[in-house]
Amino acid sequence: MSAWEDARVPESARLGSPSLGERLEAIWGDGPGLRGWIASVDHKEIGKRYIVTAFAFLVLGGLEAVAIRAQLAGPDLRLLSPEAYDQLFTMHGVTMIFLYAGPILSGFANFLWPLLLGSRDMAFPRLNALSYWVYIAAGLFMYAGFVVGRGPDDGWFNYVPYASREFDPGINIDIYALGLILLGISTTVGSANFVVTFLRTRCPGMSINRVPILTWGTLTASVGNLLAVPSVSLAFFLLWMDRQFGTHFYDTAQGQPLLWQHLFWMFGHPWVYAIVLPAMGMVSDGLPTFCRRPLVGYTPVALATVTTMALGFGVWVHHMFATGLPSLALSFFSGASIVIVIPSAVAVFAWTATIWTGRPVITTAFLFFAGMIVLFVIGGVSGFMTAAAPLDWQLTDTYFVVAHLHYVLIGINVFPVAGGLYYWFPKITGRMLDERLGRWNFWTMFAGFNIAFLPMHLLGVLGMPRRVYTYPAGMGWSATNLAISLGAVLFAIGVLLLFVNVWLSLRRGAPAGDNPWDAPTLEWATSSPPPAYNFAVIPSVASRHPLWEERLGESEGRSRLDEGLLLDRGRETIGTTPLDAEPDLILEMPADTAAPFILAVGLAILFTGAAGHWWWASGGGVAVIAIALLMWFWPRRVHADEPAEPAHG
Amino acid sequence: MAEATYRGEALPVGARGRNSVGWWGVLCLIATEASLFAYLLFSYYFMAVQRGAAWSPDPHPTMKLAGPNTIILLLSSGAAWWGEQGAKQGRRGRQLLGLGLAIGLGLVFLIVQGFEWKAKKYSVSSSSYGSLYFTITGFHMAHVVVGLLMLMAVWIWSAMGLFNPRRHAPVSLSALYWHFVDVVWLTVFFSFYLSPYLMW
């Protein structure tokens, strides 16, 4: 292409030349056929795969939930065997928390980030592909046991000593242990990618006080993941060692079973924030568009996002109030858990004020975002209640906690995601989702959800323990349980309507145009769906709302969307400084490659071998990994006189 | 048409030292790996506090091998730094010698660790102390191996003349990772060899 050069002044260009798009398309487009599909490192392609896969797991987890609710619909039912029930409620938790809630947000973030930031791809496109392939490998790995009736069966929290070999001798727990370590690799590389992308690839002018809140949410979640995921990977690795190699980490005689709970929840609580903060960011960015005004309190909301995660590292013991810890520890963690209410409330008040002072346009997306606020408040209050140790002693391990966690996870994850899908579906596909079906979709989900989960608070107060297989008649729980099960079915129908809407709208939805909602941020400045290169010229921004500047008049300068850096000598985008986003580097982006896919296959073989003690297979997996890494890092020599640079990303 | 929106100086193309995205990526890797060792050492101290003085081996673990080995690893870090300086100044001899010394000293550390493991009277499955000792030092040795593989790759690329004073990010990145592996060893050494004197 070009002779090797060490530095250059990047050319600028004005939009309008039709040949420019063709040239960039040739540089950035995916190759043909299955090979091109596997080798793609386009963040939009990877984002879509993440979203589709995560929704597939949502369906699986939902079907498991329906089976659980059928079993619990009446007293003394025997629809399922106790063994099947154990696996179902475990896989329901594992699926929803690990295979749906986190990855769906990664999917949206992957698709949206470079568009929001005015860039052409993530900082490490190949790492992005690796993250996806390892995610799906881990999902299949964990489901492999379930399909043959040997799935994880000790709850997603997997407490020892129940999960030790003595009490759970099958391969069930080993599959969970290894599968989650595998998934941890995906989460970690994905998180590192988001952090570096945030710091280094924002378009010129997008200083950190101008980025969309969604990126604050994902950034915070990613930093949290980098620090927290090793804890759960280690917890499961030590458990696997205990089960397979006779170590003594968790046994009661020589080790300490509570070590499991500490390691698990030191990860578990930050993870809760990792799977809600980006979703809260979706609301913070989407809701103002429909209120026809900027978000109230951008800076407090951004700071509250970070504060929530920081505090989130100091509250894990509130999952362990009933384990007999000293009262000093209980007081500290109880206090810390109560303090988290403050940053959470900042977001709630900011959204409410945005609606209050705006001119709301009631679309389906708006309904989902506004509905989320209601559910968040209910889930937040029940969380605040159980942060008080004495009340927690009364309510722990009852259905009250089940109600709380579903209000939090469905309320702050599923509802914003559904709203986000209505909001960004036009950008992703070029077509609008149907609004009339959307109303049915929202109200069915909202009604079904509350019928299913509001009465669980009452069941908990009445003393019904969670995780039980069945319950006797005459406890006063039967009618409530039936109502809950019917609500769960209604909720499932509501989710089904979402997919029906997607199915129909993909075929005959109204064409969207670039900016159907008249939204303010950069992703709406390019076509729907966006071209492979995102932006023909790199935009430069002067405010938080580049597309609303004329009417807001809040900024001194003007963002430039039709004129900017060209960067067309190969796959290039601009690298900028971490705080002020001033250009300081021309980033050379990697070409499509199958190396991430091969690396993921190698990892899957390695872990499968470890699960079955087929060490020869594990050795083969390591060989495949080595080949993939060689492909990945082999220094590229583009020009004869150029010192080659081992590729990154 | 040029310079309509950008009026600055020429920008470096691709990666250059701390300016590269690779540098930030390695910092993320180090952050998550440092967390891993923090959780490993948390497990050690948690178990020590829960189990009390009788849990730790008596007498306290000897520093006869681990003490000198710590110095060897620190020297290895110094050699890697010296080699990196060579890369920055374009002095390939110093670059190869420094990186080569770092690799050699790292290998010596591994061998001495092997003798240390052999000399232990407990095993990974004989007690929770043994489980923690072998798991934590094992994790560290695995990181030493990865660091050595990185240094070896960079040494070969250096010998092939693939770097120059402007483009040598992999040298800096592997040296950075190597320093991290050595700092981790200091925390491991403190926990197993020194902290027993403070705790009991």
Is the pLDDT assigned to residue B58 strictly greater than 90?
no
Q: Is B17 on the interface with A (CB under 8 A)?
A: no
* Structure tokens, A571: 């796959």
Compute chain B's Rg from CA coordinates. Answer: 21
| Residues in chain A within 8 Å Cβ distance of B11 | 7-10, 583-586
> Residue A93: pLDDT band by 50, 70, 90 thresholds?
very high
Is B11 an interface residue toward A (CB < 8 Å)?
yes
DSSP string, A267-328: HHHHHHHHTTHHHHHHHHHHHHHHHTSPPTTHHHHHHHHHHHHHHHTT-GGGG-GGG---HH
List the domain range (segments joined by +) for residue A488: 43-508
Q: Are A540 and A576 in contact (CB under 8 A)?
A: no
| Pair A228, A345 in one domain | yes
Contacts of residue A263, Cβ cutoff 8 Å, sequence gap at least 6: A231, A232, A234, A235, A238, B39, B42, B43
Contacts of B26 in chain A (CB under 8 A): none
Chain B residue with CA closest to A264: the answer is: B39
What pLDDT, on a 0 to 100 scale, did the predictor assign at position A649? 46
Contact yes or no for A248 and B2 at CB 8 A: no
Lowest mean pLDDT among A309-318, A452-461, B4-13, B160-169: B4-13
Test B1 with A649 for CB contact under 8 angstroms: no
The answer for B 117-156 residues in CB contact with A (under 8 A) is 124-125, 127-128, 130-132, 135, 153
Kindly state whether B90 is in contact with chain A, defined as any CB-CB distance less than 8 angstroms.
Answer: no
Q: Do B128 and A228 touch (CB under 8 A)?
A: no
Q: Among A459, A482, A508, which residue terminates a domain?
A: A508
pLDDT-based confidence at A1, cuts 50/70/90?
A: very low
- Establish if A541 belongs to a structural domain: no
Q: pLDDT higher for A244 or A558?
A: A244
Tokens describing residue A300: 């407090």
Distance from CA of A146 to the nearest CA of B (A): 29
Average pLDDT value for chain A: 94
- A302-316, A350-364, B17-31, B129-143: which has the minimum mean pLDDT? B17-31
Domain assignment present for residue A518? The answer is no
Distance of CA B8 to the CA centre of its chain: 39
**A540 occurs within a structural domain:** no
- Considering the domain boundaries, does residue A433 fall inside one? yes
Residues A501 and A602 placed together within one structural domain of the fold = no
Facing A200 at nearest CB: one of B24, B46, B50: B24
Chain B hits for A589, CB-CB cut-off 8 Å, are none
A483 and A606 housed in the same domain: no
Mean pLDDT of A200-206: 95
Least CB-CB distance to A575: which of B1, B21, B43?
A: B21
Judging contacts by C-beta atoms under 8 Å, the chain A residues touching residue B176 are: none
Residues A504 and A602 in one domain: no
CB B107 within 8 A of CB B187: no
Per the CB < 8 Å rule, is A195 touching B24? yes
CA A541 from centroid of its chain's CA atoms: 27
Using H for helix, E for strand and C for coil, what is the string for A421-457? HHHHHHHHHCECCCHHHHHHHHHHHHHHHHHHHHHHH
**For A145-177, what is each residue's pLDDT tens digit?**
998 889 999 999 999 999 999 999 999 999 999
Say yes or no to pLDDT of A639 above 50.
no
Is A228 in the same domain as A352?
A: yes
Q: Is A245–B125 a contact, with Cβ atoms under 8 angstroms apart?
A: yes
Record: contact A10-B6, CB cut-off 8 A: yes
pLDDT given for residue A3 in this prediction: 38
- Indicate the SS3 state at residue A211: coil
Q: Closest approach of chain A CAs to the CA of B33, in angstroms?
A: 7
Whether residue A208 lies inside any domain: the answer is yes
Q: Is a pLDDT exceeding 90 seen at residue A636?
A: no
Beta strands in A96-191 (DSSP E): none
Average pLDDT over residues A376-401: 95
**B5/A238 touch (CB, cutoff 8 Å), yes or no:** no
**What's the average model confidence in pLDDT over B73-89?**
95
Compare CB distances from B6 to A191, A233, A583 and report the shortest one's residue.
Answer: A583
State mean pLDDT over A8-30: 87
Last residue of a domain, one of A491, A508, A525: A508
Closest alpha carbon within chain A to B5? A564
CB nearest to A7's CB, from B11, B33, B43: B11
Of B40, B135, B164, the CB nearest to A241: B135
Name the closest residue on chain A to residue B49, using Cα atoms. Answer: A256
Look-up of token digits 């059928």: A70
pLDDT at A4 over 70: no
Residues of B in contact with A188 (CB under 8 A): 32
Q: Is residue A576 part of a domain?
A: no
Q: DSSP secondary-structure letter at A525?
A: G
* CB spacing of B39 vs A263 below 8 angstroms: yes
Q: Say if B172 is an interface residue toward chain A (CB within 8 Å).
A: no
Distance, in Å, from the CA atom of A398 to the CA atom of A392, rounded to the nearest integer, reads: 10
Q: Are residues A474 and A608 in the same domain?
A: no
pLDDT, residue A5, reads 58
Chain A residue numbers touching B35 (CB-CB < 8 A)? 226-228, 230-231
Domain boundary among A456, A486, A508: A508
CATH number, domain containing residue A337: 1.20.210.10
Which pLDDT score, from 0 to 100, does residue A189 have? 97
> pLDDT at position A149, please?
87
Closest CB to B125 among A199, A228, A247: A247
Report residue A2's pLDDT band, with 50, 70 and 90 as the boundaries: very low
Q: Which residues of B touch A546 (CB under 8 A)?
A: none
Domain count, chain A: 2
CB contact under 8 A, B162 and A644: yes
Asked if the Cβ–Cβ distance from B153 to A192 is below 8 Å, we say no
Q: How much is the pLDDT for A330?
A: 94
What does the radius of gyration of chain A's CA atoms come to, in whole angstroms?
25
ipTM at complex level: 0.95
CB contact under 8 A, B6 and A584: no
Nearest to B167 among A9, A226, A645 (CB): A645
Cβ of A188 within 8 Å of Cβ of B32? The answer is yes
Q: How many beta-carbon pairs below 8 A join chains A and B?
A: 182
- The whole-angstrom distance between A226's CA and the closest CA on chain B is 5
CB pair distance less than 8 Å for B19 and A584: yes
Q: Which of A647, A644, A599 is nearest to A625 (CA)?
A: A599
Is B157 within 8 Å of A241 when comparing Cβ atoms? Answer: no
Q: Does B50 reach chain A within 8 Å, measured CB to CB?
A: yes
User: What does each C-alpha distance from A20 to A115, A154, A430, B96, B118 come to in angstroms?
Assistant: 19, 57, 22, 46, 66
Checking if the pLDDT of B21 tops 90, the result is no
pLDDT at residue B5 in the model: 61
CA distance A228 to A270: 7
Residue A153 lies in a domain: yes
Best probe of the A interface among B20, B32, B56, by most A CBs < 10 A, is B32
Q: Give the global pTM.
A: 0.95
Domains of chain B: 26-51+60-199 (1.20.120.80)
Residue A429 is predicted with a pLDDT of 97
- CA distance, residue A14 to nearest chain B CA (Å): 8
Spatial separation of the C-alpha atoms in residues A573 and A581, rounded to whole Å: 13
The alpha-carbon gap from A533 to the nearest alpha carbon of chain B, in Å, equals 18
pLDDT recorded at residue B15: 65
Query: What φ, ψ does residue A137 adopt, rounded to 5°?
Result: -65, -45
List the single residue in A with minimal CA-CA distance to B45.
Answer: A259
User: Nearest CA of chain B to the CA of A324: how many Å?
Assistant: 13
Residues of B in contact with A584 (CB under 8 A): 11-12, 19
Say which residue the tokens 């896969």 belong to: A53
Distance from CA of B121 to the nearest CA of A (A): 16
* A176 domain residue, yes or no: yes
Instruction: Give residue B164's pLDDT band: very low, low, confident or very high (50, 70, 90).
Output: confident
Q: Is B5 on the interface with A (CB under 8 A)?
A: yes
